[in-house]
Structure 1
Amino acid sequence: MTVVYVDQDGNELATSTIQTGTVGEEYATEPVEIEGYVVIEIPENASGEFGEEAQTVTYVYAKVAGDITVEHVDQEGNALAESSIQSGVVGEEYQTVGKAIEGYTLVEIPANAAGEFKEDPQTVTYVYGQTAADVTVEYVDGNGDPYLIQHLNQGSSGILILHHHLKLKAMLSSKRQRTQQANSEKKLRRSRMSTRK
């Protein structure tokens, strides 16, 4: 009985071995370790009994591929989550997915998000952008009552409008104070005039 060790194309990767015995005697075989390769197919007749005819036991191997490193980074290249590793054999298909990261939105799916393992290591990089927070801007009238509420994404325009709102509110508040002060002075003058009479 001959035990052979080949790759997926049938190329011999290690020296074959021979086992002999008598008809009906049991035998057992095992794959050998071959650097850079992994067994992907164990034959049905890896163990059995010797027969009258010659037998061949064939172990099939595949080349170990370079690892796939999956990264999750922001637009500046800073890591947002722990990277993961996928291992396989050359020619085997792989697939990766992005992650849900609080405060961030996926903005770039890499071209090699899915593909085949190769001999060389590969890196799959998912890029995320920071999610804009909602800002509520409130406009008030002269009495301080809101008359418009507008939801805007935070950004330069939102900041400018918010600044305008705060400035407007301060101006109205100042005007209201001046009006109240003027009314108080009028009341005081009327009171004095009444006393004189």
Structure 2
Amino acid sequence: MAQRNTTTDKVRNEYTTENKEIPGYKLVEKPKNTEGKYVEGTQEVIYVYEKIEELKPEVKGSVVTKYVDKDGNEIIQGISTTDKVEND
């Protein structure tokens, strides 16, 4: 996780903050007080992020069709097809 950034300055001096790029997360809410003036006490500037769902690798499956006689001998060439497996 990203570390907190704490700054201190004289009351009424201006401050500016900015969001950070955090691997695996995307910014979903930017606060209204990203910039302003220092006041007495503590102000919090909170950027809200959400975890990016990892893309699942594409999974493929195969179907092999064979044509055999009753003894299991192939009588014509079989067919093999491959396609992606649907995720529910």
Confirm or deny a common fold (TM above 0.5).
Answer: yes
User: Could you state the TM-score of these two structures normalised by the residue count of structure 2?
Assistant: 0.65
**Which residue is 2:36 aligned to?**
115
Q: Offset of 1:83 from its aligned partner? A: 0.5
Distance 2:6 2:43 in 1: 10
Size of the alignment, in residue pairs?
Answer: 74
**Which residue is 1:132 aligned to?**
53
Q: Offset of 1:92 from its aligned partner? A: 1.0
* Pairwise CA RMSD: 2.6
**Which residue is 2:8 aligned to?**
87
Point out where structure 2 has 5 or more consecutive residues left out of the alignment.
Answer: 75-88
User: Could you state the TM-score of these two structures normalised by the residue count of structure 1?
Assistant: 0.32
1:183–1:135 CA distance, 2 compared to 1 (3 A): farther
The residue identity in structure 2 corresponding to 1:109 is: K
Q: Offset of 1:87 from its aligned partner? A: 0.8
Point out where structure 1 has 5 or more consecutive residues left out of the alignment.
Answer: 1-79, 140-168, 189-197
More helix by share: 1
Higher radius of gyration, 1 or 2: 1
Percent of aligned positions that are identical: 28
**Which residue is 1:187 aligned to?**
73
